[in-house]
Amino acid sequence: MGTITRSFANNITSGGTFDATDLTGTIPATNIADASVTNITAVPSLTAVSTVASDPPSPDAGQVWYNTTDKALRAYIAGAGSWASGGSLNTARSKGGSGGTQTAALAFGGEAPPDTGATESYNGSTWTELNDLNTARSFMEGNGTQTSALGYGGGISPLKAVTESWNGTSWTEVNDLNTARFGLGGLGADNTSALAFAGSFPPQTAVTELWNGTSWTEVNDLNTARDYPGGAGIATAALAFGGEIVNATAVTESWNGTSWTEVNDLNLARGAPGGAGIQTLALAFGGEGGSPATPKANTEEWNGTSWAEVADLATARRFTFSAGTQASALAAGGQEPVTAVTEEWTQANVTTDLGVS
């Protein structure tokens, strides 16, 4: 590359930014390694880490700054999370479908026993009974929000392919799954977009189906057939983790909207875990593992690359109703024994030193 003869020493401001005001005219393409690049007529400002005399009172998540008083480089990042008690379900149960957020969740179906069509909404403190599913069932899956959800599959004898759509008030039967099954995984943004995967019909299956708001279409299978997996994400960017093959598995797979790719395993192999979050920031909690299988309280965080163990649930359980994000999740109901207990996961942001000079 040719030499650009301008001196930039006087272009560094006291605030730590690059002042390009002296860069007038044109830098010829011959001064650039790739001579096919057209002449550069402007150079954007380059902003360094902000410098402050005291820490910002309300920083944004991910914000970085240099404190000149303390001579410390700091960032506002996610800290340790913990579970706290929430309001109990009206109907103690497990093995149903769910969706929503920690403060606006929906739980439906499941096994009390017997199988139930009960539907409840959560406002961050209490559950309220709403209109039931048309088809009571357990071992089903669901996704969506408190006002726009989808419930599908379930049952054992007989198996069910039934799909129902929730509009915030009532359930309506819509087109069935192509493969009837129980113990499946599922996720999606609302009642117009969903992904259903794995399960048993039997035997265990890797079948994946995509819902477009009207019907289900078979797409590429999981790499590992299993039932009772956990899941997080949306129909075009998802994560499937855990489940059971013969015993509990730790296998994790990532979905890009077209195909599944194996990624790093859970630290604890388990079936029937709860799941919350997105493809790159997920939370796995509870489930069952061991021989014989027993309920687990373990919680793990996924950072897009690997899983890390964090604080346990207060009540070990499997087949929970799950909702929320990695930073703000909900675990309700589950077994063993069948419970109505609800726990809320909160991960608070904290200011931390990145280095001191």
User: For the chain, which domains are there?
Assistant: 9-79 (no CATH), 81-349 (2.120.10.80)
User: Is residue 282 pLDDT above 60, yes or no?
Assistant: yes
Cβ(309)–Cβ(356) under 8 Å?
A: no
Tokens matching residue 133:
């599913």
pTM of this structure? 0.82
Give yes or no for residue 4 having a pLDDT over 90.
Answer: no
CA distances from 313 to 46, 84, 117 (A): 45, 9, 27
Over range 174-185, report the average pLDDT: 98
Question: How much is the pLDDT for 8?
Answer: 47
Q: Give the model's confidence band at 167: pLDDT under 50 very low, under 70 low, under 90 confident, else very high.
A: very high
Residue 155 scores a pLDDT above 70: yes
Mean pLDDT value of segment 13-37 = 55
> 86-106 burial, b if ≥16 CB within 10 A, otherwise e?
bbebebbbbbbbbbbbbbbbb
Mean pLDDT, the chain, whole residue set: 90
pLDDT score recorded for residue 293? 92
Cα(137)–Cα(205) distance, integer angstroms: 20
Q: Which pair of tokens denotes residue 205?
A: 């299956």
For residue 335, count other CB atoms closer than 10 A to its CB: 19
High-pLDDT (> 90) share of the chain, %: 78
How confident is the model over 87-110, as a mean pLDDT?
98
Number of other residues whose CB lies within 10 A of the CB of residue 17 = 14
Q: What is the pLDDT of residue 58?
A: 84
Question: What number of other Cβ atoms are within 10 A of residue 54's Cβ?
Answer: 10
pLDDT bucket at 21, cuts 50 / 70 / 90: low
pLDDT band with cut points at 50, 70 and 90 for residue 1: very low
